[in-house]
Structure 1
Amino acid sequence: MSPAIGVHVPLLPNHDKQQAKPASISGAVFNVATSIIGAGIMSIPATLKVLGVIPAFVLIVIVGLLVDISVEFLMRFTHSGDATTYGGVMKESFGQVGSVATQICVMITNFGCLIMYLIIIGDVLSGSKPEGSVHLGVLQEWFGIHWWNSREFSILFTVVFIMLPLLLLRRVESLRFSSAVSVLLAVIFVAICSVMAIIALVQGKTKNPRLIPELDQQTSFFDLFTAVPVIVTAFTFHFNVHPIGFEMGKPSDMVKAVRIALVLCAAIYFAVGLFGYLLFGDSIMTDILVNFDKSSDTATGSVLNDAVRLSYALHLMLVFPLLNFSLRANIDEFLFPEKILLVNDTKRFVIITLVLLVFSYLAAIAFPNIWYIFQFLGSTSAVCLAFIFPGAIALRDVNGISTRKDRILATIMIVSAVVTSIIAISINIYNSFGNKS
């Protein structure tokens, strides 16, 4: 899941809406795919470890299909009324409560993603110690272990000297170059991962992937549900549906673009998951970048390992300001709805920016495992934005356009989302506290 957009704030200001040329389907496909693919790709291989290859593939397909249905709901029911935003269509259906609930979910989801980005950057630069095993970061491999390349200091340096200058830019257009570079870096990451897995496969060095889950005393059937929120979070981009969709000529174009992008992203997710699992087997970490700290038999292999990690870490550094931009806009609109525009109030702009950055940094240090962040978001705010809210809009049907098929699909979507989320949350709570008693 990549940069999100505020509920009522478009990504780019529309200075001349009437003369604007409708966006192309190809452009929308790129924007949607960019919105979907983000930090979520890091934990996809770990879901294959939990579920096995076949169930993971089925889950990716099912979530993709449900996302397609939910986006179609959002576009159709939005165009049947006067709203032009996610918060707007929720307000038409459920009043001010619906609009506020949407804003809160967007803020939680975006803030959670900022924390995940910093965690991943910390893993790459300074390593991690999951379950007692030590995984060195790039800086530690190059220069040895020192205070200045510790996790706390490396993330702080990145936040202050790379992210803060970009965060202080007032206009989103100013980030267009850094955003373009970030997309290129993500593509490089996927390409190198694939090449490394193919080379290992040819050389017979790959691990044997588990096709189906193995249930034992440590892993129960209900533990499998903890992988569902991770996939849901990886596919959640619904906060970008309206900004992208309303730039297009007609709603059907957006639906077509989303379907193409979903197929593309599902293929990328499964490919990265499978290649990552082939490379590392059951030793796969919740953040696959951590696995690339292993020393290679060749100098080329070591360079590729470092290139994989650094390319994606740099990608996240450049995406972070764009995600923060929309989060900052939502928080300001939520807390100060009657104030002047944030961009015109320097004091408020700087204070909100610094507070968000400090809290993101502290949370990334306090919670170094992205698996738990993914599970929390996927079980709460992300599942609301992706499935529960669109299904509720279809069932509410304030404009009387919902068909019997719509109501059935909406009910299935909501019930499935609620049940799996409750099970996942319960299992996580039990695993966190029950095993300690």
Structure 2
Amino acid sequence: MSPAARVQVPLLPNHKLRSRASVSGAVFNVSTSIIGAGIMSIPATLKVLGVIPAFVMIVIIACLANISVEILMRFTHAGDSTTYAGVMRESFGRVGSVAVQICIMITNLGCLIIYLIIIGDVLSGNQPGGLAHLGVLQEWFGIHWWNSRAFSLLFIVVFVMLPLVLLRRVESLKFSSAISVLLALVFVGICSVMAISALVEGKTKTPRLLPQLNNHTSFFDLFTAVPVIVTAFTFHFNVHPIGFELNKPSDMILAVRISLVLCAAIYFTIGLFGYLLFGDSIMADILVNFDRSSGSAVGSLLNDIVRLSYALHLMLVFPLLNFSLRVNIDELLFSKKPILAKDTTRFLSITFVLLAFSYLAAIFIPDIWTFFQFLGSTSAVSLALIFPGAIVLRDVHGISTTKDRITALVMIILAVVTSAIAISTNIVSFFGNNS
């Protein structure tokens, strides 16, 4: 089977599906794909941008994400492909499809490793710079071999993640995704209650409505927040797997819009209340703030619930990102083979290799945040904005309007300029701090 023909075949043929997926299931799967670990970095962007610019930027990026998904779905159904890589192949040939596949592999594999690192930190702690931070299991039961990082992560991988990643339909993950969204809401709810309580007691500082430029924050630092928000709204790798299990394209558009509104509200809520709770001491990863002693039994319990709820949330996000990663790796390496869903040996082999690699990377590379911050400014931004914009400008099906082309140019310019400035600023900051 040729690569061109292979991308025209749905992930699972229609006659193999006993029932079509539901819009509600798609909403949960899309929302889970969006939230991921992005929720943890949003509060820090409010510290950089200020409340008003951050709110405006969240709304703008959510709107652009909605437009880019509409573009992908419209050009998908105008052609013969049923995957993101296939749509890019129709527009830019083999180079286009490989570019998408590499970006998805970088983005998703990086996220899977980071998820396991976070889960390991929550359960078994870490030692950044030699300073020990105990995990929840160690705080509760003391330090033992069975709650060490390697063993606790192995238990989670085998008994929680493995059964979920072996499912062959995205729709099958709708219940775990629903629980994942609920856990994210628990995370936001507890943060909100803690922030409101601190506000009533007068322990919070008034958040900055606008950015404050000083010796520590330059104008160019403001651009570093944009790729963070774009990355937090990057779910385009799952648009086709989720969309092609629905009855019609309009169902996917509806599911995406509901999910974007829900996730934008979650992002701004956690950003505002997280900023109120911790002020300028808020870290790039808000979970680090909850790792500090609260000074009371109730506060410590709430801190543990926040950390555990988010760790459980990430365990249930993991299978969704693994799903699209597995399909794209298969499409890149085995383009002439039958579709992955029909080949059990290949399906299991790729699944086990990915799971084992993610686990080992999370154990032996405990700090890869800086590395993937740079990748997030390139691969995630490309998937969310640059590639959809390029598809519109290429317009191989002749369906782009003037409005489409203007929007596409805005998306590409915004992505390229902000990413270039963010990467440059991060490089200067990194070498400045290490000099």
> Which band: TM-score by shorter chain?
0.7 to 0.9
Displacement after TM superposition at 1:312 (Å): 1.4
Kindly indicate whether the alpha-carbon contact (under 8 Å) linking 2:120 and 2:153 is maintained by their aligned counterparts in 1. Answer: yes
The TM-score, its normalising length taken from structure 2, stands at: 0.86
Kindly indicate whether the alpha-carbon contact (under 8 Å) linking 1:124 and 1:290 is maintained by their aligned counterparts in 2. Answer: no
Deviations 1:92-121 (A, max 9, x none): 111222222222222111111101211221
1:324 alignment counterpart? 322
**1:49–1:122: structure 2 CA closer, same or farther, 3 Å change rule?**
farther
Q: Give the share of equivalent positions with the same residue, in percent.
A: 77
Matches within 5 A, 1:1-16: 14-15=14-15
Aligned counterparts of 1:168 and 1:89: Cα–Cα separation in 2: 27
Deviations 1:181-216 (A, max 9, x none): 333323322222222222222232334323333333
Deviations 1:150-170 (A, max 9, x none): 445543443345434544566
Aligned counterparts of 2:326 and 2:240: Cα–Cα separation in 1: 19
User: Amino acid of the residue matched to residue 90 of structure 1?
Assistant: M
User: Amino acid of the residue matched to residue 61 of structure 1?
Assistant: V
Aligned counterparts of 2:167 and 2:190: Cα–Cα separation in 1: 32
Aligned counterparts of 2:196 and 2:13: Cα–Cα separation in 1: 44
Displacement after TM superposition at 1:176 (Å): 5.4
Which segment drifts farther, 181-190 or 310-319? 181-190
Kindly indicate whether the alpha-carbon contact (under 8 Å) linking 1:229 and 1:377 is maintained by their aligned counterparts in 2. Answer: no
Kindly indicate whether the alpha-carbon contact (under 8 Å) linking 2:123 and 2:136 is maintained by their aligned counterparts in 1. Answer: yes
Displacement after TM superposition at 1:391 (Å): 0.5
2:4 alignment counterpart? none
Matches within 5 A, 1:31-430: 31-128=29-126, 135-145=133-143, 149-164=147-162, 166-167=164-165, 177-248=175-246, 250-340=248-338, 342=340, 348-365=346-363, 368=366, 371-372=369-370, 375-430=373-428
Aligned counterparts of 2:218 and 2:180: Cα–Cα separation in 1: 39
User: Amino acid of the residue matched to residue 272 of structure 1?
Assistant: I
The TM-score, its normalising length taken from structure 1, stands at: 0.86
User: Amino acid of the residue matched to residue 15 of structure 1?
Assistant: H
Deviations 1:324-354 (A, max 9, x none): 2332232123112234555666664454334
Aligned counterparts of 2:319 and 2:149: Cα–Cα separation in 1: 20
Displacement after TM superposition at 1:132 (Å): 7.2
SS of structure 1 residue aligned to 2:399: coil
Deviations 1:236-279 (A, max 9, x none): 11122233444555544543443332222111100011111111
Which segment drifts farther, 112-121 or 214-223? 214-223
Task: Please list every run of 5 or more consecutive structure 1 residues that lacks an aligned counterpart in the other structure.
Answer: 1-6
Which segment drifts farther, 209-218 or 145-154? 145-154
Which segment drifts farther, 33-42 or 338-347? 338-347
Aligned counterparts of 1:32 and 1:173: Cα–Cα separation in 2: 11
Which segment drifts farther, 263-272 or 83-92? 83-92
User: Amino acid of the residue matched to residue 423 of structure 1?
Assistant: I
SS of structure 2 residue aligned to 1:401: coil
Which segment drifts farther, 427-436 or 146-155? 146-155
Task: Please list every run of 5 or more consecutive structure 2 residues that lacks an aligned counterpart in the other structure.
Answer: 1-6
Which segment drifts farther, 298-307 or 160-169? 160-169
Displacement after TM superposition at 1:297 (Å): 4.8
Matched residues, number: 429
Aligned counterparts of 1:229 and 1:368: Cα–Cα separation in 2: 23
Kindly indicate whether the alpha-carbon contact (under 8 Å) linking 1:121 and 1:155 is maintained by their aligned counterparts in 2. Answer: yes
Aligned counterparts of 2:105 and 2:351: Cα–Cα separation in 1: 14
Displacement after TM superposition at 1:139 (Å): 2.1
Which segment drifts farther, 77-86 or 301-310? 77-86
SS of structure 1 residue aligned to 2:15: coil
SS of structure 2 residue aligned to 1:380: helix
Aligned counterparts of 2:285 and 2:77: Cα–Cα separation in 1: 39
Aligned counterparts of 2:256 and 2:341: Cα–Cα separation in 1: 32
Kindly indicate whether the alpha-carbon contact (under 8 Å) linking 2:84 and 2:237 is maintained by their aligned counterparts in 1. Answer: yes
Displacement after TM superposition at 1:141 (Å): 2.0
Displacement after TM superposition at 1:434 (Å): 4.3
Aligned counterparts of 1:132 and 1:214: Cα–Cα separation in 2: 33
